Amino acid sequence: MARYVERFSLAGRRALVTGASRGIGLEICAVLADAGADVAAVARDPDGLAEARAAVEAAGRECVTIEADLATVEGPRAAARQALAHFGAIDVLVNNAAVSQPQSLLETQADDWDRTMAVNLRAPFLLAQVLAPKMIERKRGKIINVSSQTGIVAIPDHCAYAASKNGLNALTKAMTCEWAKHDIQCNAICPTVILTPMGERVWGPPEKGDPMRAKIPAGRFGRPVEVADLVLYLASPASDMINGDTIMLDGGYTAL
Ligand code: NAP
């Protein structure tokens, strides 16, 4: 049995992380690189991607930055192909990019619904479709879908987002059903509010944030590094028997 540091190590692994330009995705890039992974960082904002590259290189690892619009059909496919062309193979896919546009059910427009589904649900499917064949061939792969507490329990003004995240949880199980036999593990993480640009935008105003925080037994919102640490565990050999799971990272919100 390898020492525990080896079971949690990503030395020699290559990870593709979407939504790498800020917030949780940027932190995931830094943590995975710190654990030994090279990283393909995907987003639209070149300045944010430059930050991701700096974080990965500061850990002594290689980073390729890939500008892609994940709302399109071709964007995720091209990003996955570019990462494969650069690294030869991808061991870890982290589907982290998402959009959230709080609106009541009655206000939500069809275009907003479609865009939310495209980025939050279709892009993870398309990325996995391009990357999985090589994982199957190599009999090794980790797919980690950053979902949401809202994919498990509803809150007002998040109908498209909640439906997309619930769909992502179902997609995670579908991946496990088909790919577990190829030694690929697929899991979803469901965080509560995390203090990122998205979290601040939606929950920053005290009239919205305070009642939400009061419902979290831990009494606080989460931090990006707390999500990144769970991503690291799910990306590492230490978690090889965990498959098809949706893991809450919610300070106890759904325990009530
Ligand atoms: P964020 O700060 O808004 O960052 C979102 C990331 O997604 C950015 O890097 C953005 O990059 C990328 N993105 C959005 N639309 C894109 C598009 N069309 N094409 C390519 N990339 C796109 O969000 P976050 O808070 O870090 O959230 C990360 C993940 O955690 C998401 O899946 C979110 O649903 C989940 N989550 C967050 C919270 C929270 O409270 N923050 C709670 C539960 C779950 P560009 O703009 O550069 O393209």
Domains of the chain and CATH, by start: 3-196+224-246 (3.40.50.720)
Mean pLDDT of the chain: 97
What pLDDT is recorded for position 2? 75
Asked whether the predicted pLDDT for residue 1 surpasses 70, the reply is no
Burial (0-12, 13-18, 19+ Cβ within 10 Å), 254 = middle
Confidence check: pLDDT of 136 > 70: yes
Ligand 1 atom nearest residue 44's Cα: 48
Q: Determine what percent of the chain is predicted with pLDDT higher than 70.
A: 100
- Residue 19 Cβ contacting ligand 1 at under 6 Å: yes
The arrangement of strands across the sheet holding 141-146 comes to: 63-67, 38-43, 14-18, 92-95, 141-146, 184-191, 246-249
Residue 99's pLDDT band (cuts 50, 70, 90): very high
Backbone angles phi, psi at 193, to 5 degrees: -60, 130
Check if 188 has its Cβ closer than 6 Å to any atom of ligand 1: no
Answer whether 164 contacts ligand 1 (Cβ < 6 A): no
**What's residue 18's pLDDT?**
99
Locate the ligand 1 atom nearest the alpha carbon of residue 21 and give its number. 9
Q: Which of 44, 67, 127, 145 to mutate to test the pocket of ligand 1 (most atoms within 8 A of CB)?
A: 44
CA of 23 to the centre of ligand 1 (A): 7
The pTM for the full model equals 0.98
How much is the average pLDDT of 50-73? 98
| Helix/strand/coil for 65 | strand
Residue 11 in this model has a pLDDT that exceeds 70: yes
Q: What is the DSSP letter of 105?
A: T
> What's the pLDDT tens digit per position in 175-200?
999 999 999 999 999 999 999 989 99
For 125, 132, 196, 217, the CA distances from 254, given in Å and listed in that order, are 27, 32, 21, 9
Q: Is the CB of 123 under 6 A from ligand 1?
A: no
- Tell me what pLDDT residue 66 has: 99
Q: Predicted confidence band at 20 (pLDDT cuts at 50, 70, 90)?
A: very high
How many angstroms separate the alpha carbon of residue 22 from the centre of ligand 1? 8
Distance of CA 157 to the CA centre of its chain: 22
Q: Is 233 a catalytic residue?
A: no
**Ligand 1 site-directed mutation target among 196, 215, 225, most atoms within 8 Å of CB:** 196
- Please identify, by atom number, the ligand 1 atom nearest to the C-alpha of residue 23: 26
> Residue 33's pLDDT is what?
98
Least confident interval from 4-8, 39-43, 89-93, 168-172:
4-8
Residue 164 has pLDDT above 80, yes or no: yes
For ligand 1, say whether the CB of 65 is within 6 Å of any of its atoms: no
> The tokens 């496990």 sit on which residue?
176
pLDDT surpassing 70 at residue 228: yes
CA 38 to chain centre: 17
Residue type, position 84, single letter: L
Does residue 193's CB lie within 6 angstroms of at least one atom of ligand 1?
Answer: yes
